[in-house]
Amino acid sequence: MENNLKAAVIGCGGAGQVNHIPWYSQNKDVELVGLVDTNIDLVKKNPQWKEHFFTDPKEMLEKVKPDLVSIASPVHLHCEHALLCMDYGCHVLCEKPMAPSLAECQKMIDKAAKKNLTLGLALDKRFSTVFGKARELIQSGQIGQPLFVRSHLVMNQYWVGHPDRDPGFRGKLYTGGGAFQDLGSHYLDISSWLLDEKITAIYGQIDICCPEQMEVEDQATALITFEDGTKGLIECSWVGPMDQYHAHIEEMWIYGTDGAIKVLGAQRIELPNVGLWDRKKRQWQLISLPCDLGQFSHYQYKRMVDEFVACVKDGRRFFPDGEDGKRTIECVLGAYLSSYTGEKVALPLQADPPLAKIFEKARKQS
């Protein structure tokens, strides 16, 4: 273990426990030396963490001196924690969304460049075997020229329909951000990655369905334009159905001149799958995927962490990087601004929009 990289995770809630901690623990090139969270009760639930657990990031950095750190704290703390870690010479893998503002995103990018450190974003769908296959089909010309991309991601949150329940930090403007920031950021990034095209304009509409609990949107819709003229639609919501079979509904469709691709996300009782439509034959073909797709070796968070570790070890650049994360936030903020003005917004943005005014108006209209 002497030559292994030392890793730490700041934020041991859902994202930290699912997306980061297990995969550092299983990586042969890493020793997990530090876990940070303000909630000390987490140690009682996970007693194996005790010897590595801290409540203060600075204390952890000084005592265990990690080489790389995953930031999985609430979004409003991402910039603060990332800058602190980079000041201690640590490479950083930051959970999405990157930060609430463009100014904070740029601070993180600038610090990484100044310190010559890796700044990666945990936009994990890029590491999905299923989306990797979809990208391969698109880039090899199987559907011709892409024309339209539609993404639909709906989850059920426990507070919806229960006005007495508190959504916690997720319901607040600055600490959590809304459904489009939380869910839409995935499909803003993955659609751009699949097509290898940047998003240049966005028209958004946000709605606050539970104004008695929420400062931010429960659902959002955005029309997007890519630099090559391809159009897209992203729909995301926290007010979807939930039953014993489906924790969420997730699907993506890419239409082209010669065919189409559908990507259906994993549900509780079925694995994700990819379909290819041939316009000439007028039929769908189920694309062959690895027979062990359900095994952890294909789990996108594991693949993401493994690639981050390998990039740090080998001195390679990790993607998605800080610029990718900032572009995603630009799209999110552009959608919010568009909903406020009622007009299409050109990207990139030149400044952060007035979020307090935007969501004050949205609450009045709900």
| β-strands 119-122, 5-10 pairing | unpaired
- Give me the pLDDT at residue 67, please: 99
Residues of the chain with CATH 3.30.360.10: 126-292+328-365
Q: What is the DSSP string of 120-174?
A: EEE-GGGG-HHHHHHHHHHHTTTT-SEEEEEEEEEEB-TTTT-TTS--GGGGSTT
- Give me the pLDDT at residue 158, please: 67
- Give me the pLDDT at residue 2, please: 58
Q: Mean pLDDT in the chain?
A: 92
The residue ranking higher by pLDDT, 282 or 231, is: 231
- The pLDDT of 325-337, averaged and rounded, is 98
For the domain spanning 126-292+328-365, the CATH number is 3.30.360.10
> Cis omega before residue 353 (within 30°)?
no
User: Is residue 219 helix, strand or coil?
Assistant: strand
The residue ranking higher by pLDDT, 135 or 268, is: 135
In sequence order, the 6+-apart residues with CB closer than 8 A to the CB of 267 are 245, 246, 247, 248
Distance CA(131)–CA(287), nearest Å, equals 12
- The pLDDT of 120-128, averaged and rounded, is 96
pTM: 0.94
- Give me the pLDDT at residue 270, please: 59
Per the CB < 8 A criterion, the answer to whether 327 and 348 are in contact is: yes
In the chain, the DSSP E strands lie at 5-10, 30-36, 53-54, 68-71, 91-95, 119-122, 146-155, 199-207, 219-226, 231-237, 248-256, 259-264, 273-278, 283-286, 345-346
In terms of CATH, what superfamily is 5-122?
A: NAD(P)-binding Rossmann-like Domain (3.40.50.720)
Count of C-beta atoms within a 10 Å radius of residue 241? 10
Sheet with 30-36, strands from edge to edge, namely 53-54, 30-36, 5-10, 68-71, 91-95, 119-122
Residue 68 tokens read as 């790389």
pLDDT band at 166 (very low <50, low <70, confident <90, very high): confident
Provide the 8-state DSSP code for 269. Answer: T
The residue ranking higher by pLDDT, 209 or 62, is: 62
Distance CA(23)–CA(30), nearest Å, equals 10
Burial, 32: exposed, middle or buried (Cβ in 10 Å; 0-12, 13-18, 19+)? buried
Distance CA(222)–CA(207), nearest Å, equals 12
Residues of the chain with CATH 3.40.50.720: 5-122
Burial, 269: exposed, middle or buried (Cβ in 10 Å; 0-12, 13-18, 19+)? exposed
